Amino acid sequence: MSLVSRSRGLVVAAAAAALLAAGLPAIAAEPAVAAEEPATDYTAFVNPFVSTEDDFGQDLVGAEAPNSIVKINPMTTSGRSHSGYDYAEDQIAGFTHTNLNGVGGSGGGGDLLVVPTYETYTSRPGTGTYAKNFSHDAEEATPGYYSVDLATDSGTIRAEATTDVRTGQDRFTFEQGGSASLVVDLRNNFTNRKNASLEAASLDDGRVALSGDFTGHFNGYDYTMHYYVESTAPAAGVRTWGGDGALADEPSREGSDIGAVIDFDVTDGQQVGLKVAVSPISAEQAKIDLAAEMGDRSFEQVREDTKAAWNEILGRLDVTASEKSDPDGDLQALFYTHLYRMFGSPMNATSTSGTYRGLDGDVHQADGYTHYDGWGFWDDFRKYEILAIGYPEVFRDMAQSTVDLYATFASTGKGSLSNVTHSVPTVRFERAAVVVADAVAKGAQLRGLAQAWPALVSQSQGGYADDANVRRGYIANEVDDTLGTAYDDWAMATIADSLGKSEEAEQYRLRAANWTNLYKEDAVTLADGEKTGLIFPKSANGTWADADPERFEAGNVYQGTLWQYHWYTAGDMGGLIDKMGGEET
C-alpha cells in the first residue's frame, strides 16, 4: 500500500519530515493554495457501523461532522453500548445529541434525547413507551448522516439526522397522518443527570423554541452545556413536565427530571423536525450559533456540506493498494473508517463568535485558532502523531487547546481536574503532557505554556504523590502506572527544557528511568527455550509478583497484558533494547 498526504492541495508528509530533520517548526500557518475538490468520494470508504456492537470499539453510528460538538446518535434499548447504540439490539428509544465518542464506562453524554412518537401523553412520558423496533435493512449511516425506519402500531416513522459542527437537524417523516409528538427528554444522561433547565416559547410563525442548560457527569468530571432548539414546522402545542410528572403549559422548568412534549397534527408523509444547537457558553450563544452556522440551509444542504467537509478531511491522506494486497478493498475501508474516527474527539468547542469557556468558568477569546475540548488522552494520545503529519494546523490547535485547558485550570487553585466543571463531557488526561511535548518538539509556539506549567506538574504526579513510591523508585504493584508516568515524565522534561527549567527537566528525566526498577532479568522463557527479561510488577517490599505475562490483566495491568505494557517505554526504547540484549537479540 502507498500513502500520499495532502494538506489543502500541498503534499506535506515529506515536507514535514524535512522540517523536523532541520529542527524547524513543522506546524505552520495554513497553506495559501486552495483545496481542490477531491475526485474520489472518500466518505464511501467509511463504514460507521464498525466498532458499534457491545464493547468492541465503543464508537457511535450516528451523524457527526469533523470534531463536531453535536453528535446525533440513536439510543438502543433495552440494552445500549457506551455510545448509546448497540448494533446487537433491535429497538431504538430515541436520539441523543451529545456524545463522547470511543470511550468506555457508562458512556459520556447522552443529553437532549429526542423521541418521535404517535403516543398521546397526559403526564410525564414513561421511558418504556419510547422503544420502537427497527431493522438494519432499513438503516443507513455515512459520514454526516444517519437514517432508520422505526416501526410503530400507527405507522412507520422515518428518522434522519445530519449535523454541522455546533448544530444539527433531526428530520422525522410520519407515514400516517394524525396526532404525533416529539418528546425532548432532559432526564436522559448516560451516567448522571445532575440538573437541567428548560424555557419553552412559541415563535411568530407557530413553531416552538426550547432553550436552557444541562449538567451531567462522566468518569469523575461534571460538565455543563447549553442548548437552543427550534421546531421546523408549526406545532399544535407544547407542554412541559417537572418533578411532579404533570404535563402543563408551564414554560419554565428546572431540575433533574424535566422535559417537553411538542405536539403536531401531521398529514400522511409529513416531515417535521428540530434544528438544534449546543454550546459550552450559554443558551444565548447557542441561538447565535444556530443562526450563524445553520442559517436557512435545508436538511439536504447541511448533509451535502458536511459530506464535503469530510471529503476534505479524509482526502488529505490518499491511500492506494494493489489488487493483490487488498483484493476486496477491506484494508482501504478500515483505513478510512478509523481515520474518520480520529476526528470524533476532541470536539470543536469554539463558538461562532470565536469564544470558548475555560476551566476557570470564564469565557475567553480563541485568538487565531480553534479551541478544542473533550479529551480522552489515555485512550487516544497515539493518534496525534498522525494528525501532526497529515493535519498540522489541527494538531497545532489541539496542542494549544491543551495548554489553555491547563492554564485556565491553574488559575482556579483547585487540586484536581475533577474539582471544576468542564464545558463538555471529558474522560481522561493521562498522557496529555506527551501531546504537548510532541508539539513543542515539532517547533510549535504554544501561548501560555508557562502559565500552564504548574497545573501540568500537579496533574502528572500519578502514584508519586505517595512519598513511599518516590523512595522506592516505582509505583508498588503498578506496572501500568509506573510506565505511564515515566512516559509523562519524559514529556515533562521536554516541556521543562523549552521553558528554561533545566533542573526540573533533569529531575523528570531521572524519574522517567524508573521503569528500569521493574525490569526483571530472565523473567520468561520463550518458545525457543531462551530466557528474556520483562518489565514485571513488584510489591511495596520488593517482591516480584507471580503473574502470567500473556494473560489479560494478569499482574494488575489495566486492559492489557504484561507483554503489551512491556513496550510502553517509548521514551527510552534504546534503553529497553540494551537491557534485552541489544538490537540483534
pLDDT, residue 58, reads: 87
State the average pLDDT over residues 305-334. 95
Which DSSP category does 515 fall into?
Answer: G
DSSP codes of every residue in 250-282: --EEESSS-EEEEEEEE-TTEEEEEEEEEESS-
Asked if pLDDT for residue 422 goes beyond 60, the answer is: yes
- Give the count of beta carbons closer than 10 Å to the beta carbon of residue 503: 7
Given pLDDT bands bounded at 50, 70 and 90, which one contains residue 4? Answer: low
Closest CA to 306 of 172, 148, 162: 162
**Exposed, middle or buried by CB within 10 Å (0-12, 13-18, 19+), for 467?**
exposed
Average of per-residue pLDDT values in the chain? 92
Q: Quote the cell numbers at residue 296.
A: 436557512
Distance CA 132, CA 113 (A): 14
Question: In terms of residues, how long is the chain?
Answer: 585
Q: Does the pLDDT at position 125 exceed 80? A: yes
pLDDT at position 321 is: 87
What separation in angstroms does the CA of 275 have from each of 161, 167, 172, 197, 293?
10, 7, 12, 18, 11
35: phi then psi, degrees, rounded to nearest 5: -70, 140
pLDDT value at residue 212 = 98
Tens of pLDDT, residues 266-285: 999 999 999 999 999 999 99
pLDDT-derived band of residue 19, with 50, 70 and 90 as boundaries? very low
Class of domain 46-309: mainly beta
Burial 254-273 (b: 16+ CB within 10 A, else e): ebebbbbbbbbebeeebebb
Report the pLDDT value the prediction gives residue 17, as an integer from 0 to 100: 40
**DSSP per-residue letters across 422-444:** ESS---B-TTHHHHHHHHHHTT-
Predicted confidence (pLDDT) per residue in 321-372, tens digit: 899 999 999 999 999 999 999 999 999 999 999 999 999 999 999 989 999 9
Domain boundaries, the chain: 46-309, 331-513, 516-579
Residue type, 30: E
End-to-end Cα separation, the chain, in angstroms:
29
CB 343 within 8 A of CB 317: no
- HSE at residue 231, side-chain half, CA atoms within 13 A, is 29
Average pLDDT on 420-432 reads 94
Using a pLDDT cut of 90, give the percent of the chain over it: 87
When pLDDT is averaged across residues 74-89 and rounded to a whole number, the result is 92
Between 427 and 104, the more confident residue is: 427
Predicted confidence at residue 84, as pLDDT, reads 92
Query: Nine-digit cell at 573?
Result: 526504547
d(CA 413, CA 415): 6
Quickly state the pLDDT bin for 49 (edges 50, 70, 90).
very high
Instruction: Report yes or no: 177 and 268 within 8 Å, Cβ to Cβ.
Output: yes
Q: 566 in helix, strand or coil?
A: helix
Q: Kindly state the cell numbers that stand for 56.
A: 468492541
Set of cell numbers at residue 309? 467537509
Q: Minimal CA–CA distance to 215: which of 68, 383, 422, 413?
A: 422
> Is residue 191 scored above 70 in pLDDT?
yes
DSSP string, 99-124: EETT--TT-EE--SEEEEE----SBS
Cβ-based neighbours of 180, under 8 Å, separated by 6 or more: 116, 117, 118, 174, 263, 264, 265, 266, 272
- CB–CB of 298/273 below 8 Å? no
pLDDT for the residue numbered 20: 39
d(CA 372, CA 413): 22
Looking at residue 1, what is its pLDDT? 52
The pLDDT confidence band at residue 102, using thresholds 50, 70 and 90, is confident
What pLDDT, on a 0 to 100 scale, did the predictor assign at position 320? 86
pLDDT of 5 > 80? The answer is: no
Q: Which of 74-83, 180-189, 397-406, 475-484 has the lowest mean pLDDT?
A: 74-83
Of the listed ranges 18-32, 162-176, 259-273, 327-341, the one predicted with least confidence: 18-32
Task: Tell me the average pLDDT across 533-543.
Answer: 97
